[in-house]
């Protein structure tokens, strides 16, 4: 998985949990909370959907890695690739 593909995975999840938001111009380097109406429960949703859909675990201490699309891709892409290598 590339980092761009990883961003797409995250955006797909956000599209489901924040269906009123326009995601066409999300800036990858800006904190998601600063450009979208997302609260702490929504971030728990992102964590839950990563777990349910992709088998990816994000420990609580590392939630801040999901702050922006760029940081999410940086953090999650190796996890996706490690998972793919295992299977």
Partner 1 sequence: MKHARIVITGVGLTAPNGNSLTEFRKNLLTGVAGIERLDVRYMGSLLAGVCHYDPLKYQKKKDVRVGTRAGSISVYCAREALADSGIDFTTVPKDRVGIYIGCTEHGNVETENEIFNISKFNYDTKYWSHYHNPRTVANNPAGETSLHLGSTGPAYTIGAACAAGNMGLIHAAQMLRLGEVDFAIGGGVSESIHTFGIFAGFKSQNALATHEDPKRASRPFDLARNGIVVSEGGCLYTLERLEDAQARGAKIYAEIAGYCVNSDASDYVLPNPARQAECIRKALAQAGLKPADIHIVNTHATATPLGDIQECEAIRAVFGEGCPDTHINNTKSFIGHCMGAAGALELAGNLPSFNDLTVHPTINVDNLDPLCALPGLVLNQPRQVAKVDTILNNSFGMLGINSTLIVKRFVP
- Please report how close the Cβ of residue 83 comes to partner 1 at its closest, in angstroms: 16
19 makes contact with partner 1 (CB under 8 A): yes
| Residue that the structure tokens 């999650």 belong to | 76
Contact range with partner 1 by CB under 8 A, out of 2-10, 15-23, 24-32, 72-80: 15-23
Q: What's the rounded Cα separation, in Å, for the pair 37 and 86?
A: 36
Nearest Cα residue to 32 out of 50, 10, 48, 49: 10
Q: Kindly list the residues in this chain that would bind partner 1 in the complex (CB under 8 A).
A: 17-20, 37, 41, 44-45, 48, 51-52
């Amino acid at each position: 998985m590339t980092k761009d593909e990883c961003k797409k995975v995250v955006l797909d999840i956000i599209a489901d949990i924040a269906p009123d938001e326009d995601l066409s111009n999300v800036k990858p380097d800006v904190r998601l909370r600063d450009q979208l109406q997302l609260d702490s429960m929504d971030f728990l949703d992102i964590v839950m959907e990563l777990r349910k859909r992709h088998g990816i675990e994000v420990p609580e201490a590392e939630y801040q890695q999901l702050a922006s699309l760029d940081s999410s891709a940086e953090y999650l892409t190796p996890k996706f690739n490690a998972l793919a290598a295992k299977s």
